[in-house]
Amino acid sequence: MKEFSARKFMVVTIISTYCLVIIGCLILTLSKIMELPVFLALISGLGTTTMYIIKAYFDDKKRPDENGGQK
């Protein structure tokens, strides 16, 4: 099992970027620079894409050794 792969790096990078964007937009919303509907739309749009990427990473049937040994 490889500890460092491009797929794992990509997923970690996407999750980190998502978290930083949400925290930044939350700060902008609390300081009244961004409106609440824009913040909620951002969470739903970017969150859906992020969750799809994470699901695709963990549900890959071609690599059972990377998903906990499931076949």
Please tell me the total count of domains within the chain: 1
What residue type is assigned to position 45 of the chain?
G
Q: What is the extent of the structural domain holding 37?
A: 6-58
Confidence (pLDDT) at 68: 57
Position 16 in a domain: yes
Position 65 in a domain: no
Where do runs of H (alpha helix) occur along the chain?
Answer: 6-30, 36-58
d(CA 1, CA 19): 27
Tokens 């859906």, residue? 48
pLDDT tens digits along 20-35:
999 999 999 999 999 9
Position 46 in a domain: yes
Position 48 in a domain: yes
pLDDT band at 8 (very low <50, low <70, confident <90, very high): confident
Position 12 in a domain: yes
Position 68 in a domain: no
Instruction: Write the CB contacts of 14 (distance below 8 Å, at least 6 apart in sequence).
Output: 50, 53, 54
d(CA 30, CA 60): 39
Position 63 in a domain: no
